[in-house]
Amino acid sequence: MENFKYTIKLLRPKQWIKNFFVFGPIIFSNNLINSELLWNNFLTFISFCCISSAVYVLNDIVDKESDKKHPVKCNRPIASGKISLFQALIIGILLSFISLTIAISLNKYIAIIICLYLLNNIIYSFKLKNIFLIDILSISLGFILRVLAGGISTQVEISKWIILCTLFLSLFLGFGKRRNELIVLGKNASSHRKNLAEYTEKLLDQFINIALTCTIMSYSIYCILGSCNDNFIWTTIFIIFGVLRYYYLMYSKKDGGNPAEIVLKDKQLFNCILLWGCTCIVILNI
């Protein structure tokens, strides 16, 4: 029973909230009532949950030694010795197989995206995560691939402004995560991750401000030029509040290390996202 608990912890189910990006296209295209497309979208979500968990397993295997030096990550199942490397490897392979099986059954292009997502993360785990700026861009690519997969499963063309908004939002979250690592690890930051020696709090503050501004602007432009409904401009209220609330938590509460956990534990942020989704659906059906 205890081994099962650590296996679930290894999969990081809280991080699956990131995979809700695949539902963006079906919401914006007003196809939520189309049961076939919704089912395909849901299966795409499940496929991403499996492959993202497989990636987390791989990352924990690669980072086993460095995680032992981290005050929080040292409690991860592999770093703490609760799950063996062999067990983790079997779990990762099984999850990858399930993900690809689901993707292939849906669409060859979704299967290609899943493979690209896996390849990107394999390269990230072994190389890119130690390269200044490229590490964050690699993470952002994962979010864009989620949106693209959601568009394919929903059979709609995705606005270029939504792609840009996804890019800037993921950069905003990524830079915030690096900033949190610098604060938590202090002088030991570079020993945990080599490229942290090239980041500084001041530099990351500037990157965060740029990404924050671009996120709001790109979403606003989408609502004006890319949306099929002029009333979408009202949803910018939730986007502005949401990113500024996250900004506040990042700086005032010293959060930012785990975006998924912040969304789940902060009621205001969670309710903002929920209200944004409901408002989008209502506007599309007016």
Angstrom distance (rounded) from CA 48 to CA 216: 26
Contact 95, 53 (CB under 8 A): yes
Q: What is the pTM of this model?
A: 0.91
Choice between 188 and 95, residue whose per-residue pLDDT is larger = 95
| pLDDT of 1 | 59
Residue 257 pLDDT exceeds 80: no
Share of residues in the chain with pLDDT > 90 (%): 59
Predicted confidence at residue 195, as pLDDT, reads 81
Rounded to 5°, angle at Cα 131 from 126 and 137: 95
Domain covering 1-158, topology:
Tetracycline Repressor; domain 2 (1.10.357)
Q: What percent of the chain has pLDDT over 70?
A: 97
Q: What is the mean pLDDT of residues 7-16?
A: 90
Residue type, 27: I
List, for residues 195-227, the tens digit of each pLDDT value.
888 999 999 999 999 999 999 999 999 999 887
Count of Cβ atoms closer than 10 Å to residue 144 Cβ: 19
Nearest-angstrom CA–CA distance, 42 and 33 = 13
Domain ranges of the chain: 1-158, 159-286
Compute the average pLDDT of residues 141-160.
Answer: 92
Of 41-50, 57-66, 184-193, 243-252, the poorest mean pLDDT is in 184-193
Q: For residue 190, what pLDDT is reported?
A: 67
> Please, what is the angle between helix 35-62 and helix 85-106, to 10°?
160
